[in-house]
A and B are shown apart, each in its own frame.
Chain A
């Protein structure tokens, strides 16, 4: 891929801004385009519910377009100052996208949280980029490659990107922002906006010449924790979109494990490890963008049909929304990394890299690799637990509460989901084509040196296996069709142990489905229980209420902030609302300033 760089002359502040499109940029731009296009088609119909707010909807779509353009720009610019400007445009436009329903309190709260945290990310990036520019005297990306000073600016930059990507401990904005945004915005945000953080991390790794071993171990550890923590909390969520938001953290963890593995491979001089790690990360970026946006779109259908996202109140939607259910099922299989869908392909690449690392590794490597494998296996198993719950409780069985009348949505909503499902299936069945594209991206990464070429061949064997799986399923379905000919098929009530008056309330709930798991993990997860127990012979009103929370957020983010707020409260007497005091403060300040200058002089 040889596209000439474009130099824009942008005045004295920015200097020459270089625009360049290499394979890495194009990979991410392709992902962004697919998801934004599907989101736009889906959102057109979704926003019809808000037709009474014409101006707000128009402004919404304007922000959508600006957000898209800023994301493409982020992938193209090669100048850190211009990058920061585009970053800010993206952050602001996505903030306005999230707070569309600004008349709701929780929307504004979540939006503010997002706003603050995305500026923490921007601040980290700004400091990091300026520190590098100070040292090298250039704002061009080439300066990062040439930079050979202290490692801290790079750490700051990577942390800034990690906030955007949602790695633990920077994940706390995600579960608040996703549930309140309109469905297509959640889909786009989880699908691609958080991936810009991944793009940034990969871009820095592709540029830097530093030794990546420590960085690789660090990324791998953070990513494994993110993956496990994300899915462990996801299982406990009863809000469907919040559950999906925690799953984004999990999948970012899987992508991060790929990146970490790639770094370790590059540092150890094992080219095939590096190729598998980076290619797995890239493929999983594409895959997650597809299945997560599909899941959010399907959740949007559920929300607009049932007017609730609380899984405990739903049930039996597969009968009323069969297409939505089918898309949700397909994407659930994909997100669990099960063949024949696409998630399997990228996870397999990362697995193979980890097993390759185990072979011939020293003590540190063997421990690292075996724990990374364990983490990935547990993430996979927990994801199955989580998505059988999400799909099973929401779409199967019978409705748990009286749900409003609902009909399946029209083609303008099915089309984007169909397109994404088709791409997902094609990645699963013919991974060699996508692998060869990923291989050409990976070829430019440090320490890969040509070993990416073997990926497509290997992937074509994987594709044969997934194709065979589909073939066997089809063959067995045909066999049943043949065997069923002329046989009686009757209807009979679900087996109730002889009890025939069962109601919908008798069904297993999401809480009971995850109860044993919750007990096992109770030490790691936050669970607040409020209980008015039954006491005495004539008990009064008894109540039991349990609520689970993000223990990490509460203890490491909210608690320090609360302490800080209490400390600052001590000075609240200063702001007493009387004008004469404020004038006095001004005079005191001026006098102090004059005195200080005199004293110092």
Chain B
């Protein structure tokens, strides 16, 4: 419960912190930390406009998307505080329930009959398909390292002692951070601030959403940020004294938000046709991690 509540709490300021970082880096005054939240609240109070082309699939899509992120958060523990839901193989549930959300996001976009949204949907489907193996390889290597097969057992069991485990944790954190960027459609794969539909990925898919639905999609996006950062935080929380769990968690959340902001301030987006290579290269890094762990645990004979 504590872990889940803390992810919700971190989601409140995550995107705001990214926006602040970007404003500071570019020397603008910029909006406040809570501006994204205010936007969501404003959208949720509004009415909605639906295209006559759309049907019930389009209306169901934002709800399933948001529900999938909530359910994915439910299996993430925080150090010694267990997760809301935990069973052997829950990380598979984590990945697959997120895929459920993506599935509905994609069919929701296709329901509008717009070529832009079809384009965004095709890109999103491809990138998330290519990114999936990296996640499983990271979790596989952590599972191998600790000998457990559920988040609630694996993550608290990671203790950073010695160079090898530190290296593994840092590489895993790096892969997860890049995954966070890809899954949340941020630079260098996608630029949320682009104003040209042809270069959009995620933004193109939600062009026709409005009102409560759009608010829900944005809120789910913030929650997804905090969720991945919570996974990263869990790599390190096991090594600090119990009393420091919560501060460490929040520090990692803030750190990843700031680093995403810095990345976005100083990096251009990749060319669209380089994205698949970039995304799939992550899998090879993750595979490297698996074999690194095999070496570390010493049963690679």
Judge: A and B partners, yes or no.
yes
Hey, which bits of chain A sit against chain B, CB under 8 A?
315-316, 318-319, 322, 325, 329, 332-333, 336-339, 344, 347-348, 351-352, 355-356, 358-363, 366, 370, 373-374, 377-378, 380-382, 384-385, 387-388, 391-393, 395-398, 458, 461-462, 464-465, 468-469, 472-473, 475-477, 480, 483-484, 487-497, 502, 504, 506-508, 512-517, 520
User: In the complex, which residues of chain A have a beta carbon less than 8 angstroms from the beta carbon of B140?
Assistant: 355, 358, 370, 373
Of all A-B residue pairs in the complex, the 10 with the closest CB atoms, nearest first, are A508-B118, A381-B129, A392-B110, A397-B113, A461-B87, A488-B47, A487-B47, A352-B89, A494-B51, A472-B67
B76 within 8 A of A: no
> What distance in Å separates the Cβ of A497 from its nearest Cβ neighbour in chain B?
5
Nearest B residue (CB) for A480: B212
> What distance in Å separates the Cβ of A342 from its nearest Cβ neighbour in chain B?
13
> What distance in Å separates the Cβ of A258 from its nearest Cβ neighbour in chain B?
14
Contact A339 to B115, CB < 8 A, known contacts A381-B130, A489-B48, A492-B49:
no
Query: Most chain-B CB neighbours within 10 Å: which of A344, A355, A515?
Result: A355
Are the CB atoms of B122 and A337 closer together than 8 Å? no
Are the CB atoms of A381 and B143 closer together than 8 Å? no
B207 within 8 A of A: yes
B121 within 8 A of A: yes
Query: Which chain B residues (82-125) contact chain A, with CB distance < 8 Å?
Result: 85-90, 92-93, 96-97, 99-100, 102-103, 106-107, 110-119, 121-123, 125
Contact A495 to B144, CB < 8 A, known contacts A355-B89, A472-B70:
no
User: In the complex, which residues of chain B have a beta carbon less than 8 angstroms from the beta carbon of A384?
Assistant: 99, 102-103, 106, 125, 128-129
B46 within 8 A of A: yes
Contact A361 to B299, CB < 8 A, known contacts A318-B57, A378-B133, A517-B126:
yes
User: In the complex, which residues of chain B have a beta carbon less than 8 angstroms from the beta carbon of A373?
Assistant: 136-137, 140
Are the CB atoms of B129 and A458 closer together than 8 Å? no
B44 within 8 A of A: yes
Are the CB atoms of B110 and A497 closer together than 8 Å? no
Are the CB atoms of B132 and A377 closer together than 8 Å? yes
Contact A465 to B71, CB < 8 A, known contacts A336-B103, A388-B125, A520-B276:
yes
> What distance in Å separates the Cβ of A469 from its nearest Cβ neighbour in chain B?
5
User: In the complex, which residues of chain A have a beta carbon less than 8 angstroms from the beta carbon of B111?
Assistant: 318, 392, 396-397
User: In the complex, which residues of chain A have a beta carbon less than 8 angstroms from the beta carbon of B123?
Assistant: 516
B80 within 8 A of A: no
Are the CB atoms of B301 and A336 closer together than 8 Å? no
B66 within 8 A of A: yes
Known: A392-B118, A512-B118. 7 other contacts (CB 8 A): A338-B103, A360-B299, A396-B110, A397-B112, A458-B87, A465-B74, A494-B51
Are the CB atoms of A385 and B129 closer together than 8 Å? yes
Are the CB atoms of A380 and B115 closer together than 8 Å? no
Q: How far is the CA of A465 from the CA of B211 in the complex (A)?
A: 30
> What distance in Å separates the Cβ of B221 from its nearest Cβ neighbour in chain A?
15
> What distance in Å separates the Cβ of A571 from its nearest Cβ neighbour in chain B?
51
Contact A515 to B71, CB < 8 A, known contacts A388-B107, A483-B212:
no
Are the CB atoms of B149 and A507 closer together than 8 Å? no
Contact partner, A495, options B93, B116, B283, B290, Cβ 8 Å: B116
User: In the complex, which residues of chain B have a beta carbon less than 8 angstroms from the beta carbon of A336?
Assistant: 99, 103
User: In the complex, which residues of chain B have a beta carbon less than 8 angstroms from the beta carbon of A381?
Assistant: 99, 128-130, 132-133
Are the CB atoms of B63 and A477 closer together than 8 Å? yes
B266 within 8 A of A: no
Q: How far is the CA of A517 from the CA of B129 in the complex (A)?
A: 10
Are the CB atoms of A468 and B116 closer together than 8 Å? no
Are the CB atoms of A352 and B149 closer together than 8 Å? yes
B50 within 8 A of A: yes
Are the CB atoms of A333 and B103 closer together than 8 Å? yes
User: In the complex, which residues of chain A have a beta carbon less than 8 angstroms from the beta carbon of B48?
Assistant: 484, 487-490
Contact partner, A458, options B71, B88, B107, B212, Cβ 8 Å: B88
Contact A490 to B55, CB < 8 A, known contacts A370-B137, A506-B115:
no
User: In the complex, which residues of chain B have a beta carbon less than 8 angstroms from the beta carbon of A476?
Assistant: 63, 66-67, 216
User: In the complex, which residues of chain A have a beta carbon less than 8 angstroms from the beta carbon of B96?
Assistant: 337-339, 344, 347-348, 380
Q: How far is the CA of A475 from the CA of B88 in the complex (A)?
A: 26
User: In the complex, which residues of chain B have a beta carbon less than 8 angstroms from the beta carbon of A465?
Assistant: 71, 74-75, 85, 87, 90, 93
Query: Most chain-B CB neighbours within 10 Å: which of A381, A468, A496?
Result: A381
| Cβ proximity bits B38-57 to A, threshold 8 Å, 1 near / 0 not | 00000011111111111111
Query: Most chain-B CB neighbours within 10 Å: which of A344, A366, A489, A514?
Result: A366
Are the CB atoms of A388 and B70 closer together than 8 Å? no
B residues contacting the other copy or chain, number (CB 8 A)? 84
User: In the complex, which residues of chain A have a beta carbon less than 8 angstroms from the beta carbon of B63?
Assistant: 473, 476-477, 480
Q: How far is the CA of A325 from the CA of B144 in the complex (A)?
A: 42
B294 within 8 A of A: yes
> What distance in Å separates the Cβ of B68 from its nearest Cβ neighbour in chain A?
8
Nearest B residue (CB) for A497: B197
Nearest A residue (CB) for B109: A392
Are the CB atoms of A348 and B92 closer together than 8 Å? yes
Are the CB atoms of A489 and B301 closer together than 8 Å? no
Contact A370 to B110, CB < 8 A, known contacts A359-B143, A464-B85, A469-B71:
no
> What distance in Å separates the Cβ of B101 from its nearest Cβ neighbour in chain A?
9
User: In the complex, which residues of chain B have a beta carbon less than 8 angstroms from the beta carbon of A315?
Assistant: 113
User: In the complex, which residues of chain B have a beta carbon less than 8 angstroms from the beta carbon of A495?
Assistant: 51, 112, 114, 116, 207-208
User: In the complex, which residues of chain A have a beta carbon less than 8 angstroms from the beta carbon of B115?
Assistant: 502, 506-508
List, sorted by A's number, 15 A–B pairs whose CB atoms are closer than 8 Å.
A338-B100, A344-B96, A351-B89, A351-B92, A352-B92, A358-B140, A358-B143, A374-B136, A381-B130, A385-B125, A388-B121, A464-B87, A490-B48, A512-B118, A516-B276
B32 within 8 A of A: no
User: In the complex, which residues of chain A have a beta carbon less than 8 angstroms from the beta carbon of B66?
Assistant: 476
Contact partner, B118, options A316, A329, A362, A513, Cβ 8 Å: A513
> What distance in Å separates the Cβ of B63 from its nearest Cβ neighbour in chain A?
5
Q: How far is the CA of A516 from the CA of B70 in the complex (A)?
A: 31
| Cβ proximity bits B195-221 to A, threshold 8 Å, 1 near / 0 not | 001000000000110011100100000
Contact A508 to B100, CB < 8 A, known contacts A358-B144, A469-B67:
no
User: In the complex, which residues of chain B have a beta carbon less than 8 angstroms from the beta carbon of A493?
Assistant: 51-52
User: In the complex, which residues of chain A have a beta carbon less than 8 angstroms from the beta carbon of B273?
Assistant: 516
Contact partner, B87, options A362, A462, A507, Cβ 8 Å: A462
User: In the complex, which residues of chain B have a beta carbon less than 8 angstroms from the beta carbon of A475?
Assistant: 67
B160 within 8 A of A: no
Contact partner, A355, options B56, B149, B207, Cβ 8 Å: B149
Q: How far is the CA of A517 from the CA of B122 in the complex (A)?
A: 9
Nearest B residue (CB) for A332: B103
Are the CB atoms of A392 and B121 closer together than 8 Å? yes
Are the CB atoms of A497 and B116 closer together than 8 Å? yes
Nearest B residue (CB) for A272: B88
User: In the complex, which residues of chain B have a beta carbon less than 8 angstroms from the beta carbon of A363?
Assistant: 294, 300-301
Contact partner, B122, options A325, A494, A496, A513, Cβ 8 Å: A513
User: In the complex, which residues of chain A have a beta carbon less than 8 angstroms from the beta carbon of B30?
Assistant: none
B31 within 8 A of A: no
User: In the complex, which residues of chain A have a beta carbon less than 8 angstroms from the beta carbon of B107?
Assistant: 329, 388, 391-392, 396
Contact partner, A512, options B55, B122, B132, B294, Cβ 8 Å: B122
User: In the complex, which residues of chain A have a beta carbon less than 8 angstroms from the beta carbon of B129?
Assistant: 378, 381-382, 384-385
> What distance in Å separates the Cβ of B224 from its nearest Cβ neighbour in chain A?
15
Nearest B residue (CB) for A387: B103
> What distance in Å separates the Cβ of A109 from its nearest Cβ neighbour in chain B?
34
Q: How far is the CA of A333 from the CA of B99 in the complex (A)?
A: 10
B33 within 8 A of A: no
Q: How far is the CA of A477 from the CA of B53 in the complex (A)?
A: 21
> What distance in Å separates the Cβ of A323 from its nearest Cβ neighbour in chain B?
12
Are the CB atoms of B71 and A504 closer together than 8 Å? no
User: In the complex, which residues of chain B have a beta carbon less than 8 angstroms from the beta carbon of A395?
Assistant: 57
Q: How far is the CA of A158 from the CA of B273 in the complex (A)?
A: 44
Q: How far is the CA of A464 from the CA of B207 in the complex (A)?
A: 35
User: In the complex, which residues of chain B have a beta carbon less than 8 angstroms from the beta carbon of A378?
Assistant: 129, 132-133
Are the CB atoms of B110 and A380 closer together than 8 Å? no
User: In the complex, which residues of chain A have a beta carbon less than 8 angstroms from the beta carbon of B70?
Assistant: 472
